[in-house]
Amino acid sequence: MGKRFETVLVTGASSGMGREFAERLLAEGMTVYVAARRADRMAALAEKGAIVLEMDITKDDQIVAAVQRIVEGHGGVDVLINNAGYGQYGAVEDTAIDTARYQFEVNLFGLARLTQLLLPSMRAKGRGRIINISSMGGKMYTPLGAWYHATKHALEGWSDALRLELAPHGIDVVIVEPGIIRTGFADAMNDHFAPGQSGAYDDLSGALQKSTAKNFENPKFGSPPSVISDLVLRAIRAGRPKTRYAGGQMARPLMFLRWLLPDRTYDRILMSQLK
């Protein structure tokens, strides 16, 4: 890997995996910028030495201002961890197109803009690492998750193409595909569930929400965020990182089944879990 990476930016650092990443990287002695919409929710990270940036990933002026501060302070970053994101759920028919657009703004276009602005300083150094937090949902799908899965499938393809573009400049692009992680997913899903205006999908919506809530009530369901931070650290430390790292409960088995099984068979297995 040559010279050790020293400066990193973690987006979506106010909670969940993003906070975990930041804490682990601070413990490694790195200079860690953390970004999220609410700076006050990163106060504990600031106390541990993180540099806090208040940044809404959907606001271009805030992205530009954040990058300017990083460039002025440290000449850019060595590692960018694109972690900010959320899952929009609900039937396609019931989800407003503006809501779907916002899902893409957060999960794809915002991180793409941030990446664009940080690339020149990485190219100037001739080195860097971009770690995009995707999901096992970027390789598979679930009912009522069309817009969320669309963004993660898009992120996978975008990352693959970007990897080819940046390889000649010494910059690696890595995709991390978490499985089921205990980060308040059940509550977050309910917070971003499109109302059933048509009424045609109420039974399916109820079954999905009930199944999700029941599973997450089980303390053994889901993996801790540390499982994914281990993968991120491995990707940063590697001289030649893998293009993809997958981990967390059900990630590898479900992605393997999706690859192995015909569509209709996979569909039946998914839907049987909601009965």
Q: What H or E segment, with its residue span, contains residue 58?
A: none
The whole-angstrom separation of Cα 261 and Cα 157 is: 21
Selection from 83, 107, 105, 116 nearest residue 13 by Cα: 83
Looking at residue 186, what is its pLDDT?
Answer: 65
Over residues 182-207, the pLDDT tens digits come to: 887 667 777 889 988 889 999 999 99
The proportion of the chain whose per-residue pLDDT surpasses 90, expressed as a percent, equals 87
Report the predicted TM-score, pTM, of the whole model to 2 decimal places: 0.95
Mean of pLDDT over the chain: 95
**Contact call for residues 103 and 88 (beta carbons, < 8 A):** yes
Instruction: Assess whether pLDDT exceeds 50 at residue 1.
Output: no
Domains annotated for the chain, with CATH where assigned, are 7-272 (3.40.50.720)
Over residues 102-132, the pLDDT tens digits come to: 999 999 999 999 999 999 999 999 999 999 9
Q: What is the pLDDT averaged over residues 57-78?
A: 98
The whole-angstrom separation of Cα 249 and Cα 68 is: 38
Q: What H or E segment, with its residue span, contains residue 33?
A: strand 31-36
Looking at residue 217, what is its pLDDT?
Answer: 77
Selection from 158, 79, 61 nearest residue 121 by Cα: 79
Q: Which residues are catalytic?
A: 14, 134, 148, 152
**Sheet of 7-11, strand order:** 51-54, 31-36, 7-11, 79-82, 128-133, 171-178, 244-247
Give whole-number Cα distances, 168 to 2, 73, 162, 173, 207, in Å.
16, 27, 11, 12, 49
Give whole-number Cα distances, 261 to 2, 87, 176, 264, 265, in Å.
42, 25, 23, 8, 6
Selection from 174, 178, 153 nearest residue 163 by Cα: 174
Looking at residue 3, what is its pLDDT?
Answer: 57
Question: Given the structure tokens 């080195």, which residue do they identify?
Answer: 127
Classify residue 123 by burial, with Cβ atoms within 10 Å: 0-12, 13-18, 19+.
Answer: middle
